[in-house]
Chains A and B, each alone.
Chain A
Amino acid sequence: MPQASSAAIGARDSSGRRPLARLSPAAVSWIKAIVFALALVPLGRLVAGVFLRSLGTNPVEAIIRSLGTWTLVFLCLTLAVTPLRKLTGWHWLLRLRRMLGLYAFFYAVLHFTSYVWLDQGLDLVAILHDIPKRPFITVGFTCLMLLVPLAATSTDAMVRRLGAARWRVLHRLVYVVAVGGVVHFWWLVKRDVTEPAIYAVVVATLLGYRLVSALRSRG
């Protein structure tokens, strides 16, 4: 039966002997709850920062930058689940993946919303002009659009409707989004590409791992 890949595989077929390899369902639920709460901390800090006026001279830039950074961080965390699971044998990590991916989408939406609202002042004409004209915005917007079907098909019911095989192919779009996210950041900075380069290395490592294991299992 082509069952849901996200939730079901988890703890069952784990064969690890290491102590963290097998966790009780209750422990996994706790971990999920903690990660869920921690993932809201960046947003909470920004909201508090606006009201405490502690975001510096240009709070709009600070907000948009931070939301973009956290989108990339959650994309990387989502992509790190499979390699980490395989390397450590902690199969319960898979139970966090959907939430991490949805947080990437959540921060991407907030990032875009803050650009539309705080940066452009809801000037739709200017925004529609900007999206095709500024390459880094074109790429960023495309990535956001690509995340929409992934978020929409993240429920168990949607996995069942699509079938695990098709669902998996569709969700490989996240590789494109991660690469696009780094390009978006890279094209945005004026001269100093140190920070985007760090994300480029992380994304390249996470995708490279998949490529290598795919080649190995084939050959």
Chain B
Amino acid sequence: MLIKRPDPIRPSEITPRDVYVRRRELMKAAGAAALGTLLPPPAHAEGRFAGARKSAYSTDERAASLKEITTYNNFYEFGTDKESPSEYAKRLKTSPWTLAVEGEVRRPRTYGVEDLLRFPLEERIYRLRCVEGWSLVIPWTGFELKNLIEQVQPTGKAKFVEFVTAYQPDNMPGVRLRILDWPYVEGLRMDEAMHPLTLLAVGLYGDILPNQNGAPVRLVVPWKYGFKSGKSLVRIRFVENQPKTAWEKAVPSEYGFYSNVNPDVPHPRWSQATEKRLGEGRFLPRIIKTQIFNGYGDQVARLYAGMDLKRYF
């Protein structure tokens, strides 16, 4: 029993070979770039989205490696431990894929992945802060959700946006456990959804989004805890009333609708005052102070002016 316990992580088994091989090029490119510039490591020359515009919203902090970002995921549909998604998410069927945009809109529309790729794509290097007290810096490729919202023209009744993610019971070993009310649902207030920081991501490190990170299209809301950023979206619905999110339904006392990163509002199990910045540090991650709105306060604090953030957590 003592000696047979398997390694928790077997990189060669859980990283797709092409990703694994490409990573070396990536590291080389990043190393070369680091010599001449203080800019964050650029994606790389050969990826599908290599030409994507760099964004002024990007942080200049050092991004975690592709391997770190793709082998440590919360994607409960593929299992509750962090390594399971990288192992099982290859079963997710991502083609054909459509994203239905509906509800209180004048021009409801169903987008194919190719339609989404026609939006103005940018590389956005964002901090991602998980409610569990760790964070990663991630180079996404995507476009502002605002662009899509403008196309479908919400009506005056559209006060909130509901995001519904993929539910493929045959391909998702994790949904057999009824730990959440599948499909996973998230939501934003209309002004949050329209905020220029709110991204629909289709890529990671300049290439197609790996399944475990939410292929083919996911939400990224960098000032909120990671679980707000729904993966593998199939439906975006504009609604009048505040949607009930999956975590709110599961544990309403622990997860609120807003879930803005806030060091002063502790979660019952995590203080939230600090975080482990993964992908940095020689051997062990650095412990850093968590910033209000994950450091995006200058851009988003006005959305919550006058709001009691302890009550609306």
Contacts and interface: CB of A to CB of B under 8 A. Distances in A.
Nearest to B73: A57
Interface residues of B, number: 41
Contacts of A156: none
A57 B65 CA distance: 9
Contacts of B284: 50, 59-60, 118
Interface stretch (A86-94, A121-129, A144-152, A211-219): A121-129
Q: Is the interface of A mostly helix, strand, loop or mixed?
A: helix
A41 B3 contact: yes
Contacts of B268: 134-135
Interface string B94-105: 000000000000
Interface residues of A, number: 37
A91 to B, nearest CB: 22
B187 interface: no
Interface in B151-194: 177, 179-180
Interface in A66-100: 66, 73
Contacts of A73: 1
B250 interface: yes
Contacts of B8: 55-56, 62, 66
B72 A56 contact: yes
B185 to A, nearest CB: 15
Interface in B246-272: 250-251, 266, 268-271
B279 A39 contact: no
Nearest to B177: A192
Q: Is the interface of B mostly helix, strand, loop or mixed?
A: loop
Contacts of A61: 82, 134, 276
Contact of B283 (A56, A59, A190): A59
A73 B1 CA distance: 10
A53 interface: yes
Nearest to B69: A57
Contacts of B279: 57
Contacts of B1: 73
B9 A54 contact: yes
A123 B3 contact: no
Contact of A58 (B5, B76, B251, B276): B276
Given A56-B72, A191-B250, A192-B179, A130 B271 contact: yes
Contacts of B229: none
Interface string B67-80: 11101100010001
Contacts of A190: 80, 132
21 contacts: A42-B2, A42-B5, A54-B9, A55-B8, A55-B9, A56-B8, A56-B9, A59-B284, A60-B276, A61-B134, A120-B274, A120-B287, A123-B274, A126-B273, A133-B271, A134-B268, A134-B270, A134-B271, A135-B268, A191-B250, A194-B177
Interface of A: 38-39, 41-42, 50-51, 53-62, 66, 73, 118-121, 123, 126, 129-130, 133-136, 187-192, 194
